[in-house]
A and B are shown apart, each in its own frame.
Chain A
Amino acid sequence: MSAVPHAVRGTSRPSALHVLATNEARRLLCHPLNLLGVAMWCIAVGTDAWAGPRPAFTALTAPMTLFWGVPVFFAANLVTSSARRAGTEELLEGLPRWREDRTGALCLAALAPFFMGVAAQALLSCLYLVTGNQLERFPTIAELACGPLNLLGGCLLGIAVARWTPWPGAPLLIMIILVRVNQYVNTAGAGDGQETGPFYLLGFYADFALWGPHPYLAAIGFNPGSVGWHAVYLLGLCLGAGALAMLADSSRRRLWLAVGALAVVVVAFAGIRVLL
């Protein structure tokens, strides 16, 4: 698939960015890994969502991060690095738009999987209503938003990793570290008989419903913690990943450093509120 966008010589920057972003969004949505992520999310949801009140709640709020978010991270990384891996980056340097514009377009294109995730959540919610699927309570907007926010963050992080670490295997290592960190914060400080520790909302993959005893189907309540602030925390991480991606190529470094600093403040504040 060619990385060369349609010719946009002589057009204004916003319209060029719009065309580039549309092209990159199409590449991202049609990428085999994104399609695989959608399929895996459908399988994960389809096998569990009607098994009981607890699985129904979990299916609506948790699996998108792992089964769709991880493949979409790699999809964004491969789309961003495709020109470098094909050895055609020098050809793109001759185009009227800078690498900064291409990175900006990729970051805007990351909204495409986010909206696709929102549509998928909406469709599943409608299916629950139509089929009368019983839940302990319907998830809040914040609980529903966490999955699509993780898709957005995964894409932006994949773009940032491709720009900053252009070495084979780097995205793999990053993902292994992220999974291990998430596993650690989910269980750190958990007492006997507790499913999660007090820091579980500092991870990306957080199951809000309590699983209880085997066969884990009954609704027995929810893990403590403010999911609203967790959603703000994830939004801050997305902002930080986007700023990191733009910092690699932009000539306006102070702007993106300022955005990054704002993201750090948002993440720190929201992280503290989550723990309180």
Chain B
Amino acid sequence: MRWQPAAVATVLVALALAWPYDVGASWTDGVWCLRVIAGLVTLACAFVLDDQAADIIAPSPTPLRARTLFRVGLAAAWAVPVWSVSLLVVAPRIPDVWMGWASLEFAALLVAGLATAALAARRYGQSEPGAVASAAIVGGWLLMLTLPGPVSLFTLRPEALLSAHLRWTLLLGAGLAVMATMSRDPALTRR
């Protein structure tokens, strides 16, 4: 499993948190800082399913789901503390309600990113899906930026917050469904 993307992402997150900010700046800057951190962590986690030996261990008795969940668990063991520290550092700059909203966005992005990597690995036979998945995640992030008002995800308008975060929840659910499907062992047959 690649650890280098996580190491680089940790350094970049630390830089983002340590960067001097204007004390009088709007709370929206703090929210965007958290969104950038969520994106960096997601991009690093896209490499967690990279396994040069995937084809060799594929016939092993350990199911694909167990192997995938183990790797996802390792990624979460790194990502969750990084996110928690980021929340603690940025918390004084943003309204309290955004601690929850930003965490929902982070969870949805992370699961969607892992689902993209799992899709590339299982559906397209990539033993190292990180390169493709990370490029797809960047494309997805930009797509979310372009979405217009009624379907926008990266909104800051108070009247649109609830509907936007419902859409984030849908993204989270879709990501979990894709991960569950793509971690199903191809050798499994119905009896």
B61 proximal to A (CB < 8 A): no
Give min CB distance, B118 to chain A, whole Å. 17
B50 within 8 A of A: yes
* 3 closest Cβ pairs, A-B complex: A74-B135, A47-B148, A43-B146
Given A168-B47, A169-B47: A70 and B128 within 8 A (CB)? no
Say whether chain B's binding surface is mostly helix, strand, loop, or mixed: helix
Min C-beta distance of B152 to chain A, whole Å: 10
Contact B142 A168 (CB under 8 A): no
Q: State whether the Cβ of B43 lies closer than 8 Å to any Cβ in chain A.
A: yes
Q: Which residue of A lies closest to B125 (CB)?
A: A86
Q: Does B30 contact A (CB under 8 A)?
A: no
CB distance from A89 to the nearest CB of B (A): 15
The interface bits of chain B over 141-154 (1 if a CB of A lies within 8 angstroms of the residue's CB, else 0) are 01101111000000
Q: Decide yes or no whether B134 CB sits under 8 A from chain A.
A: yes
Nearest chain-B residue to A175 (Cβ)? B138
Q: Do A40 and B12 touch (CB < 8 A)?
A: no
Residues of chain B with a CB closer than 8 A to A171's CB: 131, 135
Q: For chain B, which range describes its interface: under 10, 10 to 19, 20 to 34, or 35 or more residues?
A: 20 to 34
Within the complex, which residue of A70, A81, A172 is in contact with B134, where a contact is CB–CB below 8 Å? A172
* Interface pairs (14), CB distance under 8 Å: A33-B135, A36-B143, A37-B139, A40-B146, A43-B143, A43-B148, A44-B146, A70-B142, A71-B135, A71-B139, A74-B139, A75-B135, A78-B132, A172-B43
- In the bound assembly, the distance between CA atoms of A171 and B142 in angstroms comes to 16
Q: Which of A44, A47, A78, A176 contacts B135 (CB 8 A)?
A: A78
Contact of A172 among B138, B143, B145 (CB under 8 A): B138
Chain B positions 139-175 with a Cβ under 8 Å from a chain A Cβ: 139, 142-143, 145-148
B139 in contact with A169 (CB, 8 Å): no
Q: B5 within 8 Å of A by Cβ?
A: yes
Q: Does A262 reach chain B (CB closer than 8 Å)?
A: no
Q: Indicate if the CB atoms of A168 and B128 lie closer than 8 Å.
A: yes
Shortest distance in angstroms between B24's beta carbon and chain A's nearest beta carbon?
12
Interface positions, chain B 1-47, Cβ under 8 Å from A, are 2, 4-5, 8, 12, 40, 43, 47
Does the CB pair B47–A36 fall under 8 Å?
no
Among B12, B126, B142, which residue has its beta carbon within 8 angstroms of that of A71?
A: B142
Q: Mark B100-112, 1 if CB is under 8 A from A, else 0.
A: 0000000000000
Is A85's beta carbon under 8 Å from chain B?
Answer: yes
Bound: A71/B131 CA distance, A: 13
Q: Bound state CA distance, A78 and B5, in angstroms?
A: 18
- The CA of A169 and the CA of B43, in the complex, are separated in Å by 9
Chain A contacts for B142, CB-based, 8 A? 40, 66-67, 70-71
Contact in complex: B132, A43 (CB < 8 Å)? no
Q: Which residues of B contact A81 (CB under 8 A)?
A: 131
A257 to chain B, nearest CB (A): 29
| Identity of the chain A residue whose Cβ is nearest the Cβ of B148 in the assembled complex | A47
**Interchain CB contact under 8 A, B146 and A85:** no
Report the Cα distance A85→B124, complex, angstroms: 13
Would you call A61 an interface residue if the criterion is a C-beta within 8 Å of the partner chain's C-beta atoms? no
Residues from 62 to 77 in B contacting A, C-beta threshold 8 Å: none
Q: Nearest chain B CB to A61's CB is how many angstroms away?
A: 17
Cβ A85 vs Cβ B128 within 8 A: yes
> Looking at the complex, which one of B5, B146, B147 makes contact with A168 (CB distance below 8 Å)?
B5
Flag whether A77 is at the interface (Cβ < 8 A): yes
Contact (Cβ within 8 A) A176 B146:
no
Contact between chains at A169 and B134 (CB < 8 Å): yes
| A37 CB contacts on chain B under 8 angstroms | 139
Identify 18 new A-B residue pairs, CB closer than 8 A, beyond the known A33-B139, A43-B148, A71-B142: A32-B136, A43-B143, A47-B148, A67-B142, A71-B138, A71-B139, A75-B135, A85-B131, A168-B5, A168-B47, A168-B130, A169-B47, A171-B135, A172-B5, A172-B43, A172-B138, A176-B12, A176-B40
**C-alpha gap A47/B43 in the complex (Å):** 28
| B143: nearest chain-A partner, CB-CB | A40
A75 nearest CB neighbor, chain B only: B135
